[in-house]
Amino acid sequence: MTTLHQLKTGEPQDITPEQFFSDICPKILEAQKEPCAKLGGTYGIQLFGERGGAWTLDFPRATVNNGIGDKVDLYLEMDAEDFASMMKGKLDIEAAARAGKIRFNGDARLFGNLAAVLLPAEG
């Protein structure tokens, strides 16, 4: 099972997508600034449902912005509840994609870049 950023022990389990994209994700991108610059790409993420929202991750700039940018290299959409399950390591991403729970448009090879940067360092 692949996860983008599995919450570590001690992290709050009820983190909202808004908290992830406003607080955690910018710190991850800043800490991974050099790999982000090498990987490149902009990633639009749209989450539907009660705790949903939209954000654009800009890897070359290592930033997160509210809303979907005009030109993104990869657009990803899913339900906010599925996103929360994914962040807890409880969603099989490949099975969810096959079932249509995760939809994307753009360069599918860039999907792996999200995991490469957002996965916690092994250690």
Question: What digits encode the pLDDT tens for the residues 70-110?
Answer: 899 999 999 999 888 887 778 888 898 899 999 989 988 88
What is the CA angle 8-73-23, rounded to 5? 30
Q: Residue 45 falls within a domain, yes or no?
A: yes
- Encoded tokens for 111: 């999907």
Q: Residue 90 falls within a domain, yes or no?
A: yes
Q: Residue 6 falls within a domain, yes or no?
A: no
Q: Residue 92 falls within a domain, yes or no?
A: yes
Question: Which residues are CB-contacts of 77 (< 8 A; sequence separation ≥ 6)?
Answer: 45, 46, 47, 48, 102, 103, 104
Overall pTM > 0.85? no
Q: Residue 28 falls within a domain, yes or no?
A: yes
Q: Residue 58 falls within a domain, yes or no?
A: yes
Q: Residue 53 falls within a domain, yes or no?
A: yes
The helix, strand and coil proportions of the chain, stated in percent and rounded to the nearest 5, come to 40, 25, 40
Total domains in the fold of the chain: 1
Q: Residue 10 falls within a domain, yes or no?
A: no
Question: What digits encode the pLDDT tens for the residues 14-68?
Answer: 778 898 899 999 999 999 899 899 999 999 999 999 889 999 999 999 999 999 9
- Domain range for 91 is 21-111
Question: CATH number of the domain that 92 lies in?
Answer: 3.30.1050.10
What burial letters (b/e) apply to 106-122, b meaning 16+ CB within 10 Å?
Answer: beeebbebbeebbeeee
- Encoded tokens for 6: 């599995």
